[in-house]
Amino acid sequence: MKMTRRSLPLLYAAALILAMIGVLAIPAHAQNAPANPWTATQTTQPSQLATMLSNSTGAKPVILQVGFQVLYRSKHIPGSVYAGPASTPDGLQALKNAASKLPRNADIYIYCGCCPIQKCPNIRPAFQALKAMGFTHLHVVMLKSSFGQDWVAHGYPVAGESAQ
């Protein structure tokens, strides 16, 4: 087919249509959701962690809150340690400092709860940093919507300034 000036707009229109079809074929959640660095076996449901905390026998798990300090101060999981927002360089350093003295085979549960986990700016960098430090038993607490909806609203135990 011979290309003429008149066929060029038609070619552009066809390319645009094909590009739009390609974009529309990608599911919406795949466009916005970052890939998770953890496996399904490295996830823990809030009810599972609450059960572990209520068990009076055995050692309590290491729990790191990797979100924003204002949320931690307000309400957090009892026994959790504020480790800094992992979405910032200072927060990542605070996380590394908090974890530095822990055994590399310790069971570590991390959570944020600032927003839906698929959009959370803190949980993925925290998991990746801890993994890079050599921790082998990492668990992500699956707060799918937020700490308020997935933990507090279910009546699981809380500590903090506004815990009652």
Domain 34-154 sits in CATH at 3.40.250.10
Identify the pLDDT of residue 161. 87
Instruction: Quote the tokens at residue 123.
Output: 């949980």
Query: Strand runs (DSSP E) across the chain, as ranges?
Result: 43-44, 62-65, 81-82, 107-111, 137-141
Identify the pLDDT of residue 6. 61
pLDDT band at 69 (very low <50, low <70, confident <90, very high): very high
Identify the pLDDT of residue 57. 80
Kindly report, residue by residue over 17-31, the tens digit of the pLDDT.
Answer: 544 454 444 444 444
